[in-house]
Amino acid sequence: MYLSKLFLPFTKNLPSEAKIKSHQLMLRTGMIKQSAAGIYSWLPLGFKVMKKIENIVREEQNKIGAQEMLMPTIQSADIWKESGRYDDYGQEMLRIKDRQGREMLYGPTNEELITEIFRSSIKSYKSLPQLLYHIQWKFRDEIRPRFGVMRCREFYMKDAYSFDIDDESAKKSYNKMFYAYLKTFERMELKAIPMAAETGPIGGDLSHEFIILADTGESKIYADKSIFEINPSKYKDNDISLEKMRQDFSKVYAVTDEKFNKNEFDNNVKKNNQIITKGIEVGHIFYFSDKYSKPLNCLIDSKEGNKTNIKMGSYGIGVSRLVAAVIEAKFNNNKMKWPKEISPFDVSIIPMINKNNKDSLTKAENIYSELKKQNIDVLLDDTDESMSNKFNKHDLLGVPYQIIIGSKSSDNKFEFREVNGESSVIDLQNIKLKLKK
């Protein structure tokens, strides 16, 4: 993509309405545009990042055998009355009357609807376990939406649901998701800590929040830094190993301030292992057994021939929120560096362009088409701004690699720079190799 063609309403000034750095950066680089309080449009740059995050989430869900489907945004109030949550949910639920006067709502979550689908689809234990997920827009009518897409009203979320015959089998599904979550955040180069959590209004027994570290996070975190030594890739993909993995995580001290107790912290964690920092919740998983299958009468034939309530869990990842969370974690000293797998482009080419000399642009265009042939997604800065203006802009765009065609480049060697990393003057063949790594 040529920068001059990219739909990128870039703003030089810090937007006054934005209080946190992700919100500021997303507005400045034209990733999003607010269309109403807490409701955003995703412009091409922001859309590309969100889509890449969505795809990582999808791939890791598919790897553990979860099946993708899609539930609608607008739901009937009836099933929420069956579960008893229609009244409980309060004003955060966006309630709607259609032209026939029927009570509808914009789904804030999908436990009711998935249970309703399941109860009319699956009758026998033979079809279990099942893991279903969808990635869909949700709406929560926050009283004070703020911090851009971090706490907005219309948001994009992956929610998965597990269906099992009993607690023991359900725990295996839970562990699989636990594992998928760790892999998901790892691919985004995020340090995510799973923390035992209160189950809250959604109910149930077993629950973890996944919190990524960021100085500007909303939750205060107290943890033993040895938690980062646990490497999920070292566990095998079987039920026993995954249970051990979750146990290993559970043994290490890590809590948010809700559960924090100073004595406990000091007794359990060696002084120089103690980390006190902030974090952002990007995922939440719950096991809630028959909390919904009971009121919604979702029954399954067991092996013994009885009808029993299906045991369920639910598993959320905030896809749109993750875009902002990654920025909070990765934007430092006024410089952004997108993690490789979710960067809007693989590499930027930044040629020095003068009115009288278009040589660098010609070189840049040649490199551009060479890299495109290798399926490398390139942003070519073909604008005629000064190099220092360009660098300032690219610092915010955050593409992790830059090819600079300026004073240091010769006929066939160019400056290749990794943001916050090394810089070298190399030829195109070596640039390709570095990008393919």
Judge contact between 124 and 159, C-beta under 8 A.
no
The answer to whether residue 362 forms part of the interface with a copy of itself (CB under 8 A) is no
Mention every residue, 6+ apart, whose C-beta is less than 8 A from residue 82: 112, 295, 296
Rounded CA separation 316/295 (Å): 22
Residue 430 tokens, joined: 């070596």
The answer to whether residue 368 forms part of the interface with a copy of itself (CB under 8 A) is no
Rounded CA separation 74/66 (Å): 24
Judge contact between 322 and 55, C-beta under 8 A.
no
The answer to whether residue 12 forms part of the interface with a copy of itself (CB under 8 A) is no
Q: Least separation, in Å, of the C-beta of 181 and a copy of itself?
A: 21
Rounded CA separation 198/284 (Å): 11
Count the residues of the shown chain that bind a copy of itself, applying the rule CB under 8 A: 57
Residue of the chain from 73, 169, 274, 277 that contacts a copy of itself (CB under 8 A): 73
Nearest to 311 by CA among 204, 186, 424: 204
| HSE-up of residue 46 (Cα within 13 Å, Cβ side) | 29
Judge contact between 260 and 220, C-beta under 8 A.
yes
Rounded CA separation 176/413 (Å): 48
The answer to whether residue 7 forms part of the interface with a copy of itself (CB under 8 A) is yes
Rounded CA separation 234/232 (Å): 5
Q: Least separation, in Å, of the C-beta of 98 and a copy of itself?
A: 6
Q: Least separation, in Å, of the C-beta of 3 and a copy of itself?
A: 11
The answer to whether residue 35 forms part of the interface with a copy of itself (CB under 8 A) is yes
Rounded CA separation 329/213 (Å): 7
The answer to whether residue 334 forms part of the interface with a copy of itself (CB under 8 A) is no
The answer to whether residue 47 forms part of the interface with a copy of itself (CB under 8 A) is yes
The answer to whether residue 120 forms part of the interface with a copy of itself (CB under 8 A) is yes
Q: Which stretch binds a copy of itself (CB under 8 A): 91-99, 167-175, 213-221, 339-347?
A: 91-99
Residue of the chain from 63, 71, 226, 370 that contacts a copy of itself (CB under 8 A): 71
Report in angstroms the alpha-carbon separations of 57 from 36, 168, 374: 28, 26, 25
Give the SS3 label for residue 54: helix
The answer to whether residue 55 forms part of the interface with a copy of itself (CB under 8 A) is no
The answer to whether residue 389 forms part of the interface with a copy of itself (CB under 8 A) is no
Residue of the chain from 12, 13, 16, 36 that contacts a copy of itself (CB under 8 A): 36
Residue of the chain from 80, 125, 139, 315 that contacts a copy of itself (CB under 8 A): 139
The footprint of a copy of itself on residues 247-286 (CB under 8 A) is none
Binding site for a copy of itself (CB under 8 A): 4-7, 9, 30, 33, 35-37, 39-44, 47-48, 50-51, 65, 67-76, 91-92, 94, 96, 98-100, 102, 104, 106, 113, 116-117, 120-122, 126-127, 130, 132, 137, 139, 141, 143, 153-154
